């Protein structure tokens, strides 16, 4: 009991002072090591060295830079114009384009926030001029933006793999089918909604030939080739994530210079933002590593497993509780912070109950995606409110995103009933 009081009390007290979450996690871990492990705080140094010396973790800054370069290249506008003709005459029109382009840029940036911002800055002004319902537009952008965490290469999978020593290639392969499944569910919802109320998305009556619909992809074939090359080399076992990301950054700079409008100034900005983002993520990883070391030395995950076994709760009941906890915490923490903070306890608990580590990674990623569109901290909501110049309030964006929130929950249910949807490709390719 004293351990839990110390853990919760110190964590709340340190986080309540306004210090960075990574510092709160690290200080809590050091205090636990000092008072409950005979002052063995030096073990934290070994743990930190082990994680930050990991070849897998070194892929994270490279993928962040890859995404930042492409997001600043202006290719997002070409991608939007390429996809638009495909959905012009379907109920929902450009709303489907939002989901499709978010899926594409999810495979570029690996970040939910960056995806929502990049696509939203192009889509919202264009669709507002065409008379689309603004609430539905921002809802589709907020929901579609969450695909950035699920579609590989994903920062969520990279960090999860580095912290749990799980194959990045298998995680990337596991995210493909669920990612496209969720995207198709989003489109199906928009199709039904706009079929019932056509005024939400004015139909474009101009006929579009198949050739016209496919012609736009000539503008973005280098981007598509880059995505397939990076992900394919990792999933196919031809390169490590770090090697693939490194080559991808070089190719992204070349592609963005030739086909996009990348300048030296934008490249410097991309590097600068990448450094800031990785510094924030790295500090979180540092704090979580210390906390994970302190809990593992004391056998906390094993104690929780014993309590669960003695309580007679079923494995799926425990999974339901874990999902509910994530949903509640997602109201107050951003997705990656929440995942890094909870993995030290959640991962050994769920693997101890017999769940597949790869499948767990997919489920946790979907749950933290929900946090991206859950107020008050839902970052996608805040970004899109800013992009509309407050024409659509935070509350209205949150309400418009509820259907996508529910679709994510339904996806978790489907993957729980049919885990092969996530595990088929990893088992086939590895």
Q: Which helix (H) or strand (E) holds 295?
A: helix 264-297
Instruction: Answer yes or no: is 224 within a domain.
Output: yes
158 lies in which domain range?
55-429
Cα-Cα-Cα-Cα torsion 409, 410, 414, 416, nearest 10 degrees, comes to 30
Given this model, what pLDDT does residue 271 score? 86
The count of other CB atoms within 10 Å of the CB of residue 47 is 21
Q: Report the alpha-carbon distance of residue 150 to residue 127 in Å, rounded.
A: 26
Residue 23 counted as domain residue: no
Single out the residue of 166, 194, 208, 167 nearest to residue 348, CA to CA: 166
DSSP character string of 44-97: HHHHHHHHHT-TTTTHHHHHHHHHHHHHTTTHHHHHHHHHGGGGTTSTTTHHHH
- pLDDT of 309 reads 64
Asked if residue 46 is part of any domain, the answer here is no
Is 24 contained in some domain?
no
**CA gap 390, 87 in Å, rounded:** 28
- Kindly state the tokens that stand for 24: 């709160």
Q: What is the model's pLDDT at position 46?
A: 74
Is 31 inside a domain boundary? no
Is residue 67 domain-resident? yes
**Rounded CA separation 79/219 (Å):** 8
Mean pLDDT of each 10-residue bin along the chain, 430 residues long:
70 66 76 75 74 71 78 73 75 82 71 70 78 84 79 81 84 88 91 86 67 67 77 77 82 81 84 81 76 72 67 81 82 72 82 90 88 66 73 79 89 93 86
Please, what is the angle between helix 134-145 and helix 112-129, to 10°?
160
What does the pLDDT read at residue 207?
A: 62
Residue 205, C-beta contacts closer than 8 angstroms, at least 6 positions apart: 89
238 lies in a domain?
A: yes
The answer to whether 356 touches 173, Cβ cutoff 8 Å, is no
What are the structure tokens assigned to 102, written together? 């978010």
77 falls within a domain: yes
The pLDDT value given to residue 205 = 63
Between CA 395 and CA 127 the distance in angstroms is: 20
How far is the CA of 382 from the CAs of 120, 219, 394, 400, in angstroms? Answer: 12, 31, 7, 13
Distance CA 367, CA 202 (A): 33
Count the domains in the chain.
1
């Amino acid at each position: 009991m004293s351990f839990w009081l110390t853990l919760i009390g110190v964590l709340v007290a340190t986080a309540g002072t306004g210090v960075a979450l990574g510092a709160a996690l690290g200080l809590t871990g050091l205090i636990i090591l000092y008072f409950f492990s005979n002052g063995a705080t030096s073990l934290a140094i070994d743990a930190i060295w082990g994680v930050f010396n990991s070849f897998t973790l070194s892929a994270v800054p490279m993928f962040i830079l890859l995404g930042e370069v492409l997001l600043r290249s202006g290719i997002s506008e070409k991608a939007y114009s390429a996809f638009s003709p495909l959905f012009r005459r379907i109920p929902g029109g450009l709303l489907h384009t939002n989901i499709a382009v978010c899926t594409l840029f999810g495979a570029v940036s690996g970040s939910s926030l960056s995806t929502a911002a990049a696509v939203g800055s192009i889509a919202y002004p264009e669709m507002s001029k065409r008379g689309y319902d603004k609430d539905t537009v921002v809802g589709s952008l907020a929901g579609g933006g969450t695909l950035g965490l699920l579609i590989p290469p994903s920062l969520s999978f990279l960090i999860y793999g580095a912290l749990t020593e799980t194959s990045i290639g298998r995680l990337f392969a596991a995210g493909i089918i669920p990612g496209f499944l969720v995207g198709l569910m989003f489109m199906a919802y928009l199709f039904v909604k706009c079929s019932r109320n056509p005024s939400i998305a004015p139909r474009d009556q101009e006929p579009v030939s198949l050739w016209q619909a496919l012609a736009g992809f000539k503008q973005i074939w280098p981007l598509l080739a880059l995505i397939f090359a990076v992900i394919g080399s990792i999933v196919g076992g031809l390169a490590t994530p770090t090697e693939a990301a490194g080559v991808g950054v070089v190719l992204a700079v070349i592609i963005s210079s030739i086909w996009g409008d990348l300048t030296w100034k934008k490249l410097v900005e991309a590097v600068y933002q990448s450094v800031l983002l990785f510094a924030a993520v790295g500090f979180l990883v540092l704090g979580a590593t210390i906390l994970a070391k302190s809990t593992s030395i004391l056998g906390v995950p094993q104690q929780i497993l014993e309590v669960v076994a003695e309580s007679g709760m079923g494995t799926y009941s425990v999974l339901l509780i874990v999902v509910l906890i994530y949903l509640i915490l997602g109201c107050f923490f951003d997705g990656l912070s929440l995942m890094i903070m909870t993995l030290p306890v959640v991962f050994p608990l769920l693997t101890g109950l017999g769940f597949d580590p790869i499948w767990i990674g997919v489920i946790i990623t979907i749950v933290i995606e929900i946090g991206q569109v859950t107020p008050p901290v839902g970052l996608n909501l805040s970004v899109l409110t800013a992009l509309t110049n407050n024409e659509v309030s935070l509350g209205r964006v949150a309400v418009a995103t509820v259907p996508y929130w529910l679709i994510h929950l339904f996806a978790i249910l489907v993957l729980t009933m049919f885990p092969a949807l996530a595990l088929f490709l990893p088992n086939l390719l590895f």
